[in-house]
Structure 1
């Protein structure tokens, strides 16, 4: 039992360090590759923690490798917009000039009710106050109002 506790502490500190090295994004702002990496790291840590027969290094090496790969890909995406678009997609306009863009709603599987809910959450009475709604790469909706009103992004 003490081996499992010690391994849990080791992996906790290693995973915390790796997540800090990968960046300080909030969960809701993670891009797809970061979310996948987070799930992979948590899964990789489970078996060496709970099974003392698995050498600790068999869990640490993949964690370090995947974390390093995520950092390298992140740097590469900062330097290459093409790679960024390939891995994380583009922002998609869902509503513009008084109308929904149906193909984009279907492609993103977002309903008109989802858009209208985000408009209200952002403090607007309705779509008549809105110029454009954009689904960002992070999954959040940016609400761009008409005229001189201030813009909001998903309640922030």
Structure 2
């Protein structure tokens, strides 16, 4: 039992570290080569976890080989357009200036139902409202509507919009104080205690989430039944 647990833990962290080298992607955003790599790694890891007669090293070496090959191909694709096109493919335009490219859809086995579903998911009901629809290498559909169908921006209306967007900094996360973020915001514990009292709470441990943005705006969400 202990052997199975130890082998599983080692392989888990080994594969996790390797997949982290692939970057932050969701399964639906994986390139074909990355998806194949993920499936092969799962199969290779399952064998030494279940069969104790196989040395653990015999499972790690193929996994390490695949990860090294993936890293080599990824690095090569940065310098060679041919390798990049071979591994990742090329984006395909399905709608060009409002006209449906049926040959491109047939080539990519993309049905009209799938296209309409993707358009509805982006708030578009009519193909004529789309200037370009591009099927990306990841399988996602990028939709670019005609300019006249898009909502007017502040520049179109001649209104000068203030740049008030700033990323909020988390100061308290589920009752835990993030001291480093408090220092980055140049705030003290006394300041935090005052904010806690203003929310009608006794201690920051009663706060589920407390954030502070660059404009000094505070968002405080108490824990349920903490008041």
**TM-score, length-normalised on structure 1?**
0.91
The reply on whether 1:32 has 2:25 as its aligned counterpart is no
Structure-1 separation of matches of 2:122 and 2:84: 28
Deviations 1:87-135 (A, max 9, x none): 1110011111222111111111001121111111001232121111111
The reply on whether 1:96 has 2:96 as its aligned counterpart is yes
Task: After TM superposition, give the deviation of residue 147 of structure 1 in Å.
Answer: 1.2
> Where does 1:1-150 land on structure 2 (aligned, <5 Å)?
1-147=1-147, 149=150
Runs of at least 4 residues off by over 2 Å: none
Kindly tell me the number of residue pairs found equivalent between the two proteins: 150
8 A Cα contact 1:4 1:51, kept in partner: no
Bigger mean CA deviation after superposition, 136-145 or 112-121: 112-121
Q: Give the structure 1 partner of residue 224 of structure 2.
A: none
Deviations 1:57-108 (A, max 9, x none): 0000011110111111111111111111111110011111222111111111
Structure number with larger C-alpha Rg? 2
8 A Cα contact 1:130 1:145, kept in partner: yes
Structure-1 separation of matches of 2:140 and 2:26: 12
Unaligned runs of 5+ in 1: 151-156
Structure-2 separation of matches of 1:21 and 1:121: 31
Between 1 and 2, higher relative CO (CA 8 Å, sep ≥ 6) is seen in 1
C-alpha RMSD of matched pairs (Å): 1.2
Task: After TM superposition, give the deviation of residue 22 of structure 1 in Å.
Answer: 2.2
8 A Cα contact 1:115 1:133, kept in partner: no
Bigger mean CA deviation after superposition, 34-43 or 98-107: 98-107
> Secondary structure at the residue paired with 2:147?
coil
**TM-score, length-normalised on structure 2?**
0.64
Task: After TM superposition, give the deviation of residue 43 of structure 1 in Å.
Answer: 0.4
Structure-1 separation of matches of 2:136 and 2:98: 19
Structure-1 separation of matches of 2:85 and 2:4: 42
> Secondary structure at the residue paired with 2:64?
helix
